[in-house]
Amino acid sequence: METGNPQKNPSSPCKRVCRLDDNGMCVGCFRMLDEIANWAILSPEARMEVLRKAHLRMQLRDHHF
């Protein structure tokens, strides 16, 4: 996942898996469907926030609370 200066425009973390789980999260890039659909119109700061959340989802994917 991209982690850089928020002033840069982060590229999509798409892994070309494009399959949603039961919660609506992509099993390839860990973004939610709305985050994927809106990626093109998000500001660089908003993209960085999506990447941060996706990274957290990736880390938590095997934990069941």
Q: What is the mean pLDDT of each run of 10 residues along the chain (65 residues)?
A: 63 95 96 97 98 96 73
Read off the pTM.
0.81
Asked if the structure places residue 20 within a domain, the reply is yes
Asked if the structure places residue 41 within a domain, the reply is yes
Asked if the structure places residue 24 within a domain, the reply is yes
Asked if the structure places residue 26 within a domain, the reply is yes
Whole-number pLDDT of residue 62: 76
How wide is the angle at C-alpha 46 spanned by C-alphas 51 and 35, nearest 5°?
Answer: 65
Asked if the structure places residue 33 within a domain, the reply is yes
Whole-number pLDDT of residue 53: 98
Whole-number pLDDT of residue 28: 96
Asked if the structure places residue 53 within a domain, the reply is yes
Task: Tell me how crowded residue 28 is: count the other CB atoms within 10 A of its CB.
Answer: 14
As a whole number of angstroms, the distance between CA 59 and CA 53 comes to 10
Asked if the structure places residue 19 within a domain, the reply is yes
Per DSSP, helices labelled H in the chain are: 33-38, 44-60
Q: Domain tally for the chain? A: 1
Whole-number pLDDT of residue 63: 77
Asked if the structure places residue 3 within a domain, the reply is no
Whole-number pLDDT of residue 65: 63
As a whole number of angstroms, the distance between CA 24 and CA 54 comes to 13
| Domain around 21 | 11-59
